[in-house]
Amino acid sequence: MASSSQATASKRGKKTQDWSWWDEVHSDKIGPTGGARSWSCKLCPYKRKGGADKVRAHLLHESGHEVRFCERITAEKKRELLERVAANESTSRPVHLVLP
Ligand SMILES: [Zn+2]
């Protein structure tokens, strides 16, 4: 007699535009400027203060940001994040492709 089959799949699809790196971590407060915040990774115990670029560097293992790389992130999760980044960037600013 369970009737819990309608709570899923209500909000699918149009989520990419609202997404930001702050959704991937526990962060302090949502400031008006979107600058540096204190945040902690949802996947590992890592904590830091910094901007969204630090979150990105932590999760995607990008060097040059003085952050420790996430030890818990999976290849699958990484790919999902990269897809979100790509979707986000394509909506927020035009991409100029130079074709031969
Ligand atoms: Zn982490």
pLDDT at 10 over 50: no
| The predicted structure's pLDDT at residue 32 | 58
Distance from the alpha carbon of residue 28 to the mean position of ligand 1, in angstroms: 16
Distance from the alpha carbon of residue 5 to the mean position of ligand 1, in angstroms: 33
| The predicted structure's pLDDT at residue 8 | 46
Find, among 29, 71, 84, the residue nearest to 38 by Cα. Answer: 29
pLDDT tens digits for range 28-79: 776 656 678 999 999 999 999 999 999 999 999 999 999 999 999 999 999 9
| The predicted structure's pLDDT at residue 48 | 95
Distance from the alpha carbon of residue 25 to the mean position of ligand 1, in angstroms: 8
DSSP letter for 70, please: P
Alpha-carbon distance 33 to 98, whole Å? 33
| The predicted structure's pLDDT at residue 36 | 87
Is residue 51 a contact partner of residue 65, using CB atoms and an 8 Å limit? no
Crossing angle for the helix pair 52-60 and 75-92, to the nearest 10 degrees: 140
Alpha-carbon distance 24 to 3, whole Å? 31
Termini Cα distance of the chain: 62
